[in-house]
Structure 1
């Protein structure tokens, strides 16, 4: 059994780390390089770095910020936001990213997933999905442009297509749970992990230490991502890992 990963997420807007609730009301949290270095010290397994306004503002990903973070941090770094083509992926990988996360651009052009996987390997291509429950059709809809735009894609079917096209990992955020601190969307991750055979990272809703053990106990996700609880010092990564060990979850 592979060790489960604990992954802080830095949502970056114009060079500052921000955090909101349900993708809105963003608060400034601090400098990305300082925060990344602090998480490395705590023992984070990986770091996810999302430029949350690049796509909506039609900007490129902020390569200079990634270079600075990568020079200070030696754990795996996944970067998303503002990736429009394979050249953008290459620029981020050269800047120090280990993996690139595609979301809106992959929905617009699914072949981007295949092109990236063929050029850099599936392990470098993460399909990020922002999913929201639709009570009318009783399924999860895919949203793009930082959660601002609904699509007609079903999240589970899109995840399966993304994997078929070459995505080596899925980073799936529950928009219903994002920033609410009410726990991960267990039903979403149960459906996802049953549908695909690549690692799935759960994102959105972590609010207390038990949320980590619950998502690992009730679903087959490989990693749990969190932001608010770490950014605001409510939990530390060593606390979370110790709690998981006492509950029999294998962590690094």
Structure 2
């Protein structure tokens, strides 16, 4: 009888343990892990997004992405303990038309700050400034329509006078005109202090080196800093 009793007790213990697990009973370790996961998800959801939307300048062509100016912005935000996540939406060779066509994919989440850096490739290809301007206006309209509270920063661009001085001047004028029409913040010239300096650009003479991106970061950061909480 003692043997049968012990066997019955053993099976009772197994059944009770099985029911406890099936009903969702959690060990302290499991509970702690669940709480930690929930906290991590909560912290992630609280992060505000800074979206840099541009071409190879934003992407950091020729250097490591973390050394490009958007990566440097993320590093500065982290050092300040700010709950911001930087998204690098740069694509080499991108034009304003291409940017307009792929914008929706980047607007799945609301950006707190949207930095628009496009147009340089338009200028180098001789695209009509009026067409580039219309595309920039349309991009800004899309962002504002979906997320009215997003802070928008437009980065001004200039090009060499290869296409003639008239074209160069007309292209340069696009950015202040767009910023004024849409009432967005303008960085007058993204490559201030970098463009035309062989020591700060890769051999192609177009894309900044790591040191060049440090200077670009110095140009961009005050505008980001003024918009963060």
Give the TM-score of the pair, scaled to structure 2: 0.40
Higher strand share: 1
Larger Rg: 2
Higher normalized helix content (fraction of residues): 2
